[in-house]
Structure 1
Amino acid sequence: MSDLSRFSLNQATTKRWPMRETVAGCVAAGVPGIGLWRDQVDELGVERTAALVRSAGLTVTTLCRGGFFTADGWRDDNLRAIDEAAALGAPVLVLVSGGLPPGSRDVDGARRMVADAIAALVPHAEAAGVQLAIEPLHPMFASDRCVIATLGNALDIADAFPAAAVGVAVDTYHLWWDDQVWTQLARAGAAGRIACFQVADWITPLPEGVLLGRGLPGTGCVELRRFREAVDAAGYRGPIEVEVFHEDVWSRPGEDVLAETIKGYLQHVL
């Protein structure tokens, strides 16, 4: 495989590249897809962003993010996020579920809260034609960002709902360490629940802000091609987003980052 037909640039990778320049850069590089972030969409506005992306011929692969179900106002915010995804033409809204409620140590209870919250959102998502993608995050984020720490955790919740309404987000950065991930990928594929596939490498030593420790493909220790082959074997044929958070990457010109991202994708993912 040597083409970009499934490649999508997640906006997080070029965080400081303005929206219009990002879209133009993707078109110039022959990139067919883009994963959008709500904060960056807000800067231009949903309608203008939708028109810009549509006129450029780009496919919106995901919108990040909804979730954080322990935050005040979570329900209204997530309903808005679903509406934004629909307006942007994003088929998938990625959910980062949130950590423990303040003062709580009850991880099981927090996961039940996530399941209940998703149940409350499903009717609106179905009506909007948007699939909710539960994203498991690495366990080091469980206390404050996401109590859903494994693909199995995510699937256990998703299984209660129609696959067209609730799936899972497979992110190599968060799942590479789990020896059960290959079995769970097959499970997800058999149920038609792989909603999106996101790629980033794991680099060490981690920076002080561990959230920003993602690397471009080929710069770390993750078996990225093995993941791609596994999601393919599970029946997933959708876009492959590269989603990187790192200050060193963000400090560079967007065109340079995109070029290196494509090179790493072709060499280490396909």
Structure 2
Amino acid sequence: MSDTSGLDLTRFSINQQTVKQLSLPELVDACVDLGVPAVGLWREPVQSYGLDAAAKLVRDAGLAVTTLCRGGFLTAIDPDARAKALDDNRRAVDEAATLGTDTLVLVSGGLPAGSKDLRGARERIADALAELGPYAASNGVRLAIEPLHPMFASDRCVVSTLKQALDIAERFPAEQVGVTVDTYHIWWDEDAPAQIARAGASGRIHTFQLADWITPLPEGVLNGRGQVGDGSVDMREWQGYVEAAGYTGSIEVELFNDELWARDGRELLAETAARFVEHTA
């Protein structure tokens, strides 16, 4: 395993998806061994391990849980599908609270089958948040809308820019709804720095995530996030924007990449920690 001794990992958080080849106990053990102080967890592996058992595991290890991924998928038109989505998001809020994180990341959802109405889909997200926001806040959890790169607008997320995310989030108190700033999804947007400042002014930067943009994109773009430092994104520049906007929290590295997942998970975690230190302030 690579040596991480001497690295300042105070603000580093490893998103579970980055090293999904590790089981939750393996991830926790590796974090303790390497001095990684925090993790961002995903619902599916947590549910597989057992919610209460997972909460105890990370708590006993002294790890902070920075976020839970993911809620959302709130664009359904069908009333039954909408009701199921709202119920699932309430469960996600409950899970976040049990795990001890105050931030549930939302991937808002794509266009329903047969629809071409982006504006209508975004309005249905706002309608859902009007119900979910107060419930989340009553459980000490904030909802963080994550804009995804426009290539995902049709099937995963009709919210493609920070401006679109904030236009929805600002309808609600900041302790209910804010945004996720993810370099992979917004690095191309020349308006994003101004929108980060806008988000910071109202206390709505709920989490900051790093991933690089590599070209050519791997086959299957969903798993095309590059290791920090391997692509086109200036991490320090974007860190500067969020910190100028008042963000002082943990910084997650969240990678989706088949080549990285094929490697030894502990070695990948150590490399990711080292890259974090190398490419952030």
TM-score bracket relative to the smaller structure: over 0.9
1:51 to 48, 51, 56: 56
Q: Which amino acid aligns with 1:198?
A: Q
2:116 to 98, 105, 109: 105
Can you list the C-alpha shifts for 1:193-214, whole angstroms capped at 9, x where unaligned? 0000000000111112101000
How large is the RMSD of aligned CA atoms in angstroms? Answer: 0.8
Q: What displacement does 1:101 show?
A: 1.4
- Identify which range, 254-263 or 167-176, moves more after superposition: 254-263
Query: Is contact 1:217-1:269 (8 Å) kept?
Result: no
Q: CA deviation at 1:107?
A: 0.5
| Deviation (angstroms), 1:269 | 2.0
Matched residues in 1 for 2:43 and 2:280: separation? Answer: 27
- Choose which of 44, 47, 50 in structure 2 pairs with 1:42: 47
Note the 1:31-110 alignment, pairs <5 A.
31-70=36-75, 72=81, 73-110=84-121
Matches within 5 A, 1:1-270: 3-70=8-75, 72=81, 73-270=84-281
Partner SS state of residue 70, structure 2: strand
Provide the TM-score with structure 2 as the length reference: 0.94
Inter-partner Cα distance in structure 2 for 1:92 and 1:10: 13
**CA distance in 2 between partners of 1:67 and 1:23 (Å):** 26
Shift, 1:90, TM fit: 1.1
Distance in 1 (alpha carbons) for counterparts of 2:216 and 2:224: 8
Distance in structure 2 (CA, Å) of the matches to 1:116 and 1:223: 36
Q: Which segments of 5 or more consecutive residues in structure 2 lack a partner in the other structure?
A: 1-6
Separation in structure 2 between the aligned mates of residue 122 and residue 187 of structure 1, nearest angstrom: 20
Deviation at 1:18, TM superposition (A): 0.4
Return the letter of the residue paired with 1:24.
Answer: D
TM-score (norm: length of structure 1): 0.98
Q: Counterpart amino acid of 1:117? A: A
Does structure 1 conserve the Cα–Cα contact (< 8 Å) formed by 2:75 and 2:122? no
Please list the CA deviations of residues 116-156 of structure 1 after superposition, one character each: whole Å capped at 9, or x if unmatched: 11111012101101000000000000000000000000000
Instruction: String of CA shifts for 1:55-100, please: whole Å, max 9, x gaps.
Output: 0000000000000113531011000000000000011000000001
Letter in 1 for 2:60: S
Taking only the aligned residue pairs, the percentage that are identical comes to 60
Secondary structure of residue in 2 paired with 1:102: coil
Asked whether the equivalents of residues 75 and 110 of structure 2 are also in contact (C-alpha less than 8 Å), the reply is yes
Matched pairs, number: 269
User: Are the aligned partners of 2:43 and 2:70 in contact in 1 as well (CA < 8 Å)?
Assistant: yes
